[in-house]
Structure 1
C-alpha cells in the first residue's frame, strides 16, 4: 500500500475558512452573552470565546507560515 503524497495546496484556504468560522462563532457568542441573563451561560460563552481567541492567534500564525511555504513552492 502506497502512502498518499503530502498535498498542502489547499492549506491556506482551509485555515482561512477556519479563521472565518471561528470569528463568526465569537460574534454569535457575544450576541448571546448580551441577550442572556443566565450568569452560568455567560461565563461558559466567555470562556469559549477566550479559547477561540487563543485558537485564532495560532491559526493566524499557521496561515502566515503556510502562505510563505506556498510562495516558495513547498520546498
Structure 2
C-alpha cells in the first residue's frame, strides 16, 4: 500500500477559514440568543457558543504551530 505524502501547505489557510466560520456562527448565535424568548433555545445556543469558544482556542493554537512550521519549511 502506497501512503500519500503529508501535504500541509494549505493547513494555515484551512484553519483560518475554519476560525472565520466559527466566529461567524458564534456571532449569528449571539444574535439569535438576543432575539429569542425561548429559554431552552437560549441555553442550547449558549452551550454551542461555549463549545465554539473552546474550539477557537484550539484552532488558534494549531494555526500558530502550523505557521511556525510553514515558516521553517515543515522541517
Superposition TM-score tier, normalisation by shorter sequence = over 0.9
Structure-1 separation of matches of 2:18 and 2:31:
20
Q: In the comparison of the two structures, how many residue pairs are matched? A: 75
Please list every run of 5 or more consecutive structure 1 residues that lacks an aligned counterpart in the other structure.
none
Aligned to 1:63: 63
* Structure 1 stretches of 4+ moved >3 Å: none
> Structure 2 CA distance, aligned partners of 1:51 and 1:32?
16
Q: What is the Cα deviation at residue 2 of structure 1?
A: 1.2
Q: Secondary structure at the match of 1:59?
A: helix
* Cα RMSD, aligned residues only: 0.4
Determine the C-alpha separation between the residues in 2 that align with 1:54 and 1:6. Answer: 27
Task: Compute the TM-score of the two structures, normalised by the length of structure 2.
Answer: 0.98
| Deviation per residue, 1:6-46 (Å, 9 max, x gap) | 00000000000000000000000000000000000000000
For residues 58 and 5 of structure 1, what CA distance do their matches in structure 2 show?
Answer: 25
Residues 1-75 of structure 1: pairs in structure 2 closer than 5 A: 1-75=1-75
TM-score relative to the length of structure 1: 0.98
